[in-house]
């Protein structure tokens, strides 16, 4: 165990974090940048004394469970997480057993800063794990009421779906992503149940699955028949969150077009907090609370 290097790494990662990005209070004066040790300990669900000893190179070798908790509290990337385990003299961290169904605070913060852009975050199973008010207005007010999986919406007709172009193409995109997820997370019980449900309920899904479609996230244009805003020509662009195998879908309209004006009108009336499958606003009081998103 490289105690001095581990201590230095923990201090540096703690100092690099910004309280505001994690939903922590920002009005209290701080002597040094980053989080306090007490805050990291609370987010990692460990005693302050134990964490302080780790930062001072006086602590015992942390267990994989403790290291995993620290990686989450410090928002480490997969590479940084592996480095943390190596410094602690522990074997490589176990691979992910399932799709990540939580949303990082900085991703949620981006959704808040997009008032005239519909935005959703989807996990590897096409579950919608966060969305902003405009996305809810575009996708249907029932979003979050048990209809937060786009695969179920597409193939099983669950939830409100307004008529739009590109449904066939989107079906292939969904299957391609679910095939990737099945390869990456063979022990994810929730994913296995979803696939069984789709196979049982949709012949189209079964046929598409056998074709083994391949798709890379990118730019799509579709038209949407909205019940109040009328026909909308929308751009759908995908940003990747690779550390969590998630995608941020941004829904916009070309500037100066009737669709853009209609979207602006929808945004003016679609006020409210960010959404999460749990039914609670996805605006964290802290990372620990924020990472309890629904399945």
What structural domains and CATH numbers belong to the chain?
A: 3-87 (1.10.260.40), 105-290 (3.30.450.180)
Q: Which of 16-20, 87-91, 124-128, 270-274 has the lowest mean pLDDT?
A: 270-274
* Predicted pLDDT at 276: 63
* Predicted pLDDT at 272: 64
Contacts of 80 (CB under 8 A, 6+ apart): 13, 71, 74
pTM (predicted TM-score): 0.64
Q: Which of 4-18, 92-106, 253-267 has the lowest mean pLDDT?
A: 92-106
DSSP 127: B
Q: Is 278 helix (H, G, I), strand (E, B) or coil?
A: coil
Q: Pick the residue with more confidence: 2 or 293?
A: 2
* Predicted pLDDT at 287: 28
* Predicted pLDDT at 197: 96
Question: In the structure, what pLDDT confidence band is assigned to residue 103 with cuts at 50, 70 and 90?
Answer: confident
For residue 207, is pLDDT > 70?
Answer: yes
* Predicted pLDDT at 215: 84
Q: How far apart are CA 47 and CA 66, in angstroms?
A: 11
DSSP 149: B
What is the per-residue DSSP string for 204-220?
HHHHHHHH-------EE
CA 29-35-36 angle, to 5 degrees, is 75
Tokens of 9: 């790494």
Contacts of 15 (CB under 8 A, 6+ apart): 32, 33, 34
* Predicted pLDDT at 211: 92
* Predicted pLDDT at 231: 92
* Predicted pLDDT at 25: 62
Do the strands 118-122 and 230-241 form a parallel or antiparallel pair, or are they unpaired? unpaired
For residue 286, is pLDDT > 60?
Answer: no
């Amino acid at each position: 165990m490289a105690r001095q290097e581990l201590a230095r790494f923990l201090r540096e990662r703690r100092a690099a974090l910004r309280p505001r990005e994690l939903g922590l209070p920002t009005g209290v004066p701080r002597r040094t940048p980053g989080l306090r040790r007490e805050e990291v300990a609370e987010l990692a669900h460990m005693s302050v004394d134990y964490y302080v000893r780790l930062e001072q190179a006086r602590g015992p070798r942390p267990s994989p469970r403790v290291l995993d908790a620290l990686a989450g509290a410090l928002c480490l990337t997969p590479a940084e997480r592996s480095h943390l385990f190596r410094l602690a003299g522990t074997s490589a961290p176990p691979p992910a057993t399932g799709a990540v169904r939580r949303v990082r605070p900085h991703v949620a913060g981006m959704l808040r800063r997009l008032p005239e852009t519909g935005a959703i975050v989807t996990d590897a199973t096409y579950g919608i794990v966060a969305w902003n008010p405009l996305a809810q207005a575009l996708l249907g007010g029932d979003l979050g009421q048990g209809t937060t999986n786009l695969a179920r919406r597409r193939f099983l007709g669950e939830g409100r779906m307004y008529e739009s172009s590109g449904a066939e193409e989107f079906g292939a995109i969904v299957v391609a992503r679910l095939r990737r997820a099945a390869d990456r997370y063979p022990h994810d019980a929730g994913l296995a149940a979803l696939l069984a449900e789709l196979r049982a309920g949709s012949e189209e899904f079964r046929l598409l699955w056998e074709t083994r479609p391949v798709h890379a996230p990118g730019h799509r244009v579709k038209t949407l028949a909205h019940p109040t805003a009328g026909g909308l020509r929308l751009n759908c662009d995908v940003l990747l969150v690779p550390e969590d195998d998630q995608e941020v879908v941004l829904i916009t309209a070309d500037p100066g077009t009737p669709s853009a004006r209609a979207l602006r009108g929808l945004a003016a009336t679609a006020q409210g907090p960010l959404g999460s499958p749990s039914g609670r606003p996805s605006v964290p009081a802290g990372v620990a609370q924020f990472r309890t998103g629904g399945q």
